[in-house]
């Protein structure tokens, strides 16, 4: 790999070279005319499916999973966590086995950095439960987690759960000791339960502001408690549908860019035509305005967001700089998701995951994407 561009973090014109890791980063005194931007490849910690492929379906063919990852490369994403949500125990295990096979067998497999299990240990209540099927919500179970890890070949690295379960504190402690990131989400937890979860090792809030009751007490409530907790980072779905602009701006002020992460929470209809789709046992519809909703209703059921669009949106809505927005899609998720070789940006010794792009009309247009030094997308 050898490429150049204006680095988003320093605004210097640089040339980088390497194979699977970056071996050289040199400043170039004279920038080429109309030089593009260069940044670490984007990271997405929450992808349920993409480009017509459902990662929760054990029947998804490996070649189709590979095709969906190639589509993701076109958005600048080089590492992501395929996400398995609440379902029947055997269905979740089968989905994890299928993803583990894909990670091992596909040329695109290295992009599947690790797996995220969102649920089933979430709030059973309407509102916080979101679109997760109520009949499969259940309390934290260490034996079930061990079965997940066996099926996933040890690749489960992020688990989203609600601290409102009596078993949650011990569960979080045990997962933390095994190097697994635990995140608070889809919760109706009290202040004390959130504090206990953080003390036990929880470090993240999953898509903060979503998976919540429609009406909350002024104070205390579980959104304020998570926003105020400096030991928690937070992920946000910035698609114009999941969060009002005002909430996003306030949440980013509370967390600061340094504790904020962009995720897409994309589901199978992402990058597809509007129409009806099925996510496991859940019937959904992709609307013309790109909302993914439960069929026949208005409740959101994941998103059709792309990471390049999320970066563009957070700059526009929250007034962030390009440097800040890129940090929320690269180094921050690498740190939160414990992704080695990706926390220092474009530096020698880091993985050769690179994206080159232009900013046009306020939006990101990806030109090239490199994974482990191999060019995996060219516009």
The two structure tokens encoding residue 114: 């690790």
Q: Which residues contact 33 (CB under 8 A, 6 or more apart)?
A: none
Task: Determine the Cα–Cα distance for residues 102 and 88; give it in Å rounded to an integer.
Answer: 21
Residues 144 and 88 sit within 8 Å (Cβ to Cβ): no
Q: Per DSSP, what are the bridge partners of residue 44? A: 80
For this structure, is 213 an active site residue? no
Polymer length in residues for the chain: 379
CA 211 to chain centre: 15
Q: Which two tokens stand for residue 148?
A: 């997940």
* Closest of 221, 236, 218, 230 to residue 254, by C-alpha: 230
Residue 286: which of 272, 297, 307, 305 has the closest Cα?
272
- Which DSSP string do the residues of 5-25 spell out, in sequence order? EEETTT--EEEEEESSBEEEE
Hey, what are 317's tokens? 């809505």
Between CA 46 and CA 116 the distance in angstroms is 7
- Neighbour-count burial for 94-124, b at 16+ CB within 10 Å, e otherwise: bbbebbbebbeebebbbbbbbbbbbbbbbbb
At 374, phi and psi to the nearest 5?
-95, 135
- Chain position carrying tokens 């959130």: 194
CA 289/CA 266 separation, integer angstroms? 15
Choosing from 265, 288, 289, 308, the catalytic residue is 265
- Category of 347 on φ-ψ map: left (φ > 0), alpha (ψ -120 to 50) or beta: beta
Contacts of 294 (CB under 8 A, 6+ apart): 131, 282, 283, 284, 285, 301
Catalogue the active-site residues. Answer: 265
């Amino acid at each position: 790999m050898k490429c150049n561009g204006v680095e988003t973090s320093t605004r210097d014109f640089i040339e980088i070279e390497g194979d699977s890791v970056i071996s050289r980063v040199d400043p170039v005194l004279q920038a080429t005319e109309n030089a593009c931007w260069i940044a670490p490849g984007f990271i997405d910690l929450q992808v349920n499916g993409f480009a017509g492929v459902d990662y929760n379906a054990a029947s998804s063919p490996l070649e189709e999973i590979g095709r969906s990852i190639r589509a993701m490369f076109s958005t600048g994403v080089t590492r992501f966590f395929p996400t398995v949500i609440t379902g029947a125990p055997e269905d979740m295990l089968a989905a994890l086995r299928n993803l583990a096979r894909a990670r091992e067998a596909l040329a695109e497999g290295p992009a599947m950095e690790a797996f995220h299990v969102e649920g089933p240990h979430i709030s059973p209540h309407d509102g916080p439960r979101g679109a997760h099927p109520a009949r499969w919500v259940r309390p934290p179970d260490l034996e079930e987690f061990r079965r997940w890890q066996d099926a996933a070949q040890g690749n489960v690295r992020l688990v989203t759960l609600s601290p409102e379960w009596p078993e949650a504190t011990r569960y979080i402690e045990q997962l933390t000791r095994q190097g697994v990131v635990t995140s608070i989400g889809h919760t109706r937890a009290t202040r004390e339960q959130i504090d206990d979860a953080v003390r036990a090792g929880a470090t993240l809030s999953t898509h903060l502001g979503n998976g919540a009751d429609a009406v909350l007490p002024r104070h205390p409530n579980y959104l304020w408690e998570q926003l105020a907790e400096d030991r928690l980072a937070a992920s946000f779905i910035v698609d114009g549908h999941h969060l009002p602009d005002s909430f996003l701006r306030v949440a980013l002020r509370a967390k600061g860019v340094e504790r904020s992460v962009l995720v897409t929470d994309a589901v199978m209809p992402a990058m597809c035509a509007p129409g009806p789709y099925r996510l496991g046992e859940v019937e959904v519809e992709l609307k013309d305005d790109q909302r993914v909703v439960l069929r026949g209703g208005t409740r959101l059921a994941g998103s059709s967001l792309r990471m390049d669009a999320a970066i563009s949106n957070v700059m526009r809505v929250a007034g962030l700089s390009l440097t800040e927005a890129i940090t929320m899609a690269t180094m921050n998720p690498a740190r939160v998701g414990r992704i080695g070789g990706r926390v220092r940006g474009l530096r020698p010794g880091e993985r050769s995951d690179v994206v080159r792009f232009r900013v046009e009309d306020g939006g990101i247009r990806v030109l090239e994407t490199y994974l482990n030094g191999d060019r995996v997308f060219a516009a």
